Structures are given as C-alpha cells and as structure tokens.
Amino acid sequence: MKNFLFIFIILSSLKSFSQRDTSKYDRLEEIIDNDKRYALHNNYLQAGAGFGGSTIRKGEQSFIGIDFVFHIKRQHFQLGFLMSGDKFLSNNNLSGHFGYCYRIENEKRNIAFTLGVAQNKGAIAAHIDGQDTIAELQYRNTGAYLSASYIKKITYDIGIGIELFGELNQTQQFFGVKGVLYFSGAYRGKAKIYNRHVKTRRK
C-alpha cells in the first residue's frame, strides 16, 4: 500500500509539468530541415554509459543505460533501464524506471527532464553478526527516479550528449552521469513541393 500511494503521488504531481499548447494538435505535423521532412511529434531512443556513486557501495560505480521516450499527443513519457556495477557489464544493481518527461526540441538540440518511479533489485556484501564471513544480501524495492539530459544534434534525428540521473529509495541513493547517443524516429523522407502537414521550413 505504501508503494502504491508513493507511485500515485509522484504520477499525480507530474501533471503540473505538462507542456501546454493551445494550437490544434496535428499528429502528422512535419517540419523541413535541410530539404528533409521530419515529424514534429516523434519518439526517440537514448543509450549510453557513465559513472556515478551509491550510498551503500564503496568506490565508483559504472553505469549502462537505455531509455525510450514516447509521446501521447503532446505529452512525453520515458521508459528505461539501468545496470550498474564495479565494472562495466559486471552488475550489482538492476533498475527499471518510468516517468513523465518534459521535452524541449528544435533543430539544434533536445533537452529533457524526467521525474518518475523506479523498481530495482541488487545485492551487497555484508558481515553477519557474530561471524567473520561475508554474506551477499539481496534487496528489491521501489523508489523515485529523476534525470536531465542535453543532446547536441548532428542531424535533426541523430545526436550526442550528456545525461545526469539519480534514484532514491529506502535501500540506497545513487547518482551519476552518462555520455549518451540519441536516435529519433522523426525522419519522413525528402522534402516535397507541397505537404499540408508541413508547418515550418528551415534551411
């Protein structure tokens, strides 16, 4: 019940971050950039690796993550996965997250802020009382997830950038920074003489 109430409060509060646009929504709206057509309302994939720290682990942690940002009309949501460990691909914590994403996009950059919930599981070495041996204690819990990313676009639908992220739960708080690659599904083909869905044209 506590987890349910926590998730409900987080998701309800995200409504205050909603992007507001009074113009009529056109799901097929396009822009033209460098004589190529791109969907204004698009989804994207972001993947990368980096470093960070955790309150229950000694030393620097290595992170690998992938996120999919999708839209429902003008609202954006992020679904992602994080794996961390003492080395890349040697994991001690797995985390999946989902949240509301406030996105700002133009032909030069993509900026996104996400707040949501995360479910994670992992293991940590710990001493057992009265014994000299070290045991591996496993955990699983729900917490809050937040991130901020800045992407510099190479083309309208491909870019490279940086992401700051963190998670807070009853077992640990971890935070980090990743270098990320950005791949958007915005491309629609070469520009035509006329397309009624095109609202913006850039050189």
> What is the distance between the alpha carbons of residues 96 and 82, in angstroms, rounded to a whole number?
6
Beta bridge partners of 69: 44, 78
* Tens-digit pLDDT profile for residues 144-180: 999 999 999 999 999 999 999 999 998 889 999 999 9
pLDDT in tens, 15-38: 544 445 556 788 888 888 888 889
In a domain, 20, yes or no: no
59: left (phi over 0), alpha (psi -120 to 50) or beta: left
Q: Could you write out the DSSP letters of every residue in the chain?
A: -HHHHHHHHHHHHGGGG-----SPP-TT-EEEETTEEEESS--EEEEEEEEEEETTSSS-EEEEEEEEEEEETTEEEEEEEEEEESBTTB-SEEEEEEEEEEEEE-SSEEEEEEEEEEEEEEEEEEEPTT-S-EEEEEEEEEEEEEEEEEEEEEETTEEEEEEEEEEE-SS-EEEEEEEEEEEES-EEEE--S--TTEEEEE-
In a domain, 32, yes or no: no
pLDDT digits (tens, 9 = 90+) for 67-79: 999 999 989 999 9
Q: What's the structural domain count of the chain? A: 1
Q: Give me the domain span that covers residue 106.
A: 2-14+41-202
Per-residue pLDDT of 83-118, as tens digits, reads: 998 888 778 899 999 999 999 999 999 999 999 999
Which among 67, 62, 60, 59 has a CA at the least distance from the CA of 50?
62
pTM of the model: 0.80
**Residue 26 domain-assigned (yes or no):** no
Question: Mean pLDDT for the chain?
Answer: 84
Residue 116's φ and ψ, nearest 5 degrees, are: -165, -155
> Is position 34 within any domain?
no
Whichever domain contains 122, its CATH number is 2.40.160.20
Task: Answer yes or no: is 49 within a domain.
Answer: yes
